[in-house]
């Protein structure tokens, strides 16, 4: 592991994460700019509400793949610290993409892809937890925030029993922090009671 390898992993990770998959799927599937629909975000939930389940499934898989690829490439360059660096940069790229004026998604799926490389056992908890919270409350944002808080605690527990490393914990803390920051507007709506529930079609973000 060298500083150059870590920097290369971060650069490649950011560029991978910054690919606006949701925007591309919206253009191909419906000829629309997903940023002008619903929440204006490019992630799975806005695609689901604006385009439908097939488009959302494609975006989900590709956003997970971005994180997985960024972490795997980073790992090949600089071990687990390279994976953590590349993965963190991928989440940043997804939420703040240079290709679309530093907009993007919330980073949940991309972070899950990174964790699949660094600490796959975490997904055995957070995926069912996400499904449970989303299913019961119908708030995808609340489910996302719940797993963003649970993931670092789970990685820390795995670290104590020798099932995860310090780079995984560093990513979980910082990466999930980025996810929470990307949900700032959702947090405000949850507090005011105006957050949109799953199954409610998004209104146009521009009127």
User: Each residue of 117-162: pLDDT tens digit?
Assistant: 999 999 999 999 999 999 999 999 999 999 999 999 999 999 999 9
Domain count, the chain: 1
What's this model's pTM, rounded to 2 decimal places?
0.94
Q: Greater confidence, 206 or 61? A: 61
Average pLDDT of the residues of the chain: 94
Give phi and psi for 178, each to the nearest 5: -65, -40
Dihedral angle sign, alpha carbons of residues 164, 168, 169, 170 = positive
Inside any domain, residue 167: yes
Q: Find the domain containing 13 and state its range.
A: 3-192
Inside any domain, residue 202: no
Inside any domain, residue 203: no
**What CA–CA distance (Å, rounded) separates 201 from 51?**
10
What is the percent of the chain where pLDDT is above 90?
92
Inside any domain, residue 200: no
What is the percent of the chain where pLDDT is above 70?
96
> Pick from 147, 156, 150, 88: which is nearest to 117 by CA?
88
Inside any domain, residue 206: no
**Does residue 202 carry a pLDDT above 70?**
no
The pLDDT of 173-190, averaged and rounded, is: 97
């Amino acid at each position: 592991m060298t500083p150059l390898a870590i920097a290369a992993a971060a650069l490649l990770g950011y560029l991978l994460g910054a690919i606006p998959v949701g925007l591309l799927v919206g253009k191909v599937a419906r000829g629309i700019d997903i940023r002008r629909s619903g929440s204006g975000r490019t992630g799975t939930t806005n695609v689901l509400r604006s385009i439908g389940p097939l488009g959302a499934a494609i975006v989900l898989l590709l956003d997970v793949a971005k994180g997985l690829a960024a972490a795997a490439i980073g790992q090949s360059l600089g071990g687990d610290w390279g994976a953590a660096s590349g993965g963190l940069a991928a989440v940043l790229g997804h939420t703040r993409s240079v290709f679309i004026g530093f907009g993007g998604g919330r980073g949940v799926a991309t972070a899950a892809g990174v964790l699949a490389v660094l600490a796959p056992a975490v997904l055995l908890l957070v995926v069912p937890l996400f499904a449970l919270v989303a299913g019961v409350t119908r708030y995808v944002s609340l489910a996302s925030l719940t797993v963003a808080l649970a993931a670092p605690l789970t990685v820390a527990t795995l670290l104590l029993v020798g099932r995860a490393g310090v780079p995984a914990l560093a990513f979980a803390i910082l990466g999930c922090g980025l996810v929470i920051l990307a949900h700032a507007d959702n947090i405000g709506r949850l507090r005011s009671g105006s957050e949109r529930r799953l199954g409610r079609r998004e209104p146009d973000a521009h009127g």
